[in-house]
Amino acid sequence: MSIWEYANPKKFLSTSEKVMPALWVLSIALTVGGLIWGFFLTPDDYRQGSTVKIIFIHVPAALMAINAWFMMLVASLIWVIRRHHVSALAAKAAAPVGVVMTLIALVTGALWGQPMWGTWWAWDPRLTSFLVLFLFYLGYIALWEAIEDPDTAADLTAILCLVGSVFAVLSRYAVLFWNQGLHQGASVMRAGAVAGDTEERVSNVFATPLFVCMGGFALLFLVLVLYRTGTEIRARRIKALLARERLEAEA
């Protein structure tokens, strides 16, 4: 039993269809549950008031925005090295989900920044890198859309993803160098943040529902990618069937 068995589209479809209903239920339950917990059952922060609760959307979305690109990078590598079509299609399927996550993170960040920092947008390193990441996603999706031959498109976008990843990391550090930030550091995962022995941390009251939301968003991403990959496989299969039908009609 190796993971490469799932590179067979048929095997992939049958397995993913089996696990997807459970994943849907679990991801929606976690996301909705985490959000309700976060929105209604946590106290207001004494300085930030109720705006602090946007963290329950903002942080998981930002996390998934980065992980989606990372997943696309891995899938592209698998496509380039082992040429499994499912992998290329999974990368294609993940991109729109990733771009929406990036957009959510940017928009919720702006909504939070307006009352807290007094501005919708600041050219802060984190904000700017996310904007650049958003542009990378747009270029990647646009390239998929522009090329007709599916294999050429898969190859070209895979290489773009590899080169783009390097430049995305470069941009991240370039931006850090270019402007010092307003955005707080990563306070959720910092060592001791959950155990509660550092000064600057997300309080446990907020941390637990936040982790639930993160889990929910991660599962939601997973199930959306599985679903969209299945759709892509079927779309390609229909195309092949139609082409065969035309051939037989001509013959």
| Residues that bind other proteins in the complex, under the rule CB under 8 A | 132, 135-136, 138-139, 142-143, 146-147, 152, 155-156, 159-160, 162-164, 167-168, 170-171, 173-175, 177-178
Of 210, 208, 221, 216, the closest CA to residue 31 belongs to 216
Q: Nearest distance from residue 147's CB to other proteins, in Å?
A: 7
- Which is nearest to 92 in space by CA: 250, 187, 1, 224? 224
Q: Which is nearer to other proteins, 23 or 156 (CB)?
A: 156
Least distance CB 90 / other proteins (angstroms):
20
The amino acid occupying position 24 is W
CA-based radius of gyration for the chain: 21
Q: Which residues pair with 49 in a beta bridge?
A: 45
**Quick one: 42 or 128, whose CB is closer to other proteins?**
128
C-beta of 149: minimal distance to other proteins in Å? 9
Q: How is residue 76 written in tokens?
A: 């592209």
For other proteins, the closer CB: 146 or 189 = 146
Structure tokens at 84: 């499994």
Residue with tokens 């990078």: 73
Q: Residues, the chain, total? A: 251
**Minimum distance of other proteins from residue 113's CB (angstroms):** 22
Nearer to other proteins, 49 or 139 (CB): 139
Quick one: DSSP state of residue 194?
A: T
Minimum CB distance to other proteins smaller for 179 or for 204: 179
Query: Minimum distance between the CB of residue 155 and other proteins, rounded to whole angstroms?
Result: 4
Q: How does DSSP assign 122-169, residue by residue?
A: ---HHHHHHHHHHHHHHHHHHHHHH--SHHHHHHHHHHHHHHHHHHHH
d(CA 251, CA 248): 5
Q: How far is the CB of 83 from other proteins (least distance, A)?
A: 12
Beta strands in the chain (DSSP E): none
Residues 158 and 76: beta-carbon distance below 8 Å:
yes
Nearer to other proteins, 159 or 205 (CB): 159
CB of 124 to other proteins, least distance (A): 14
Residue type, 156: L
- Which is closer to other proteins, CB of 174 or CB of 188? 174
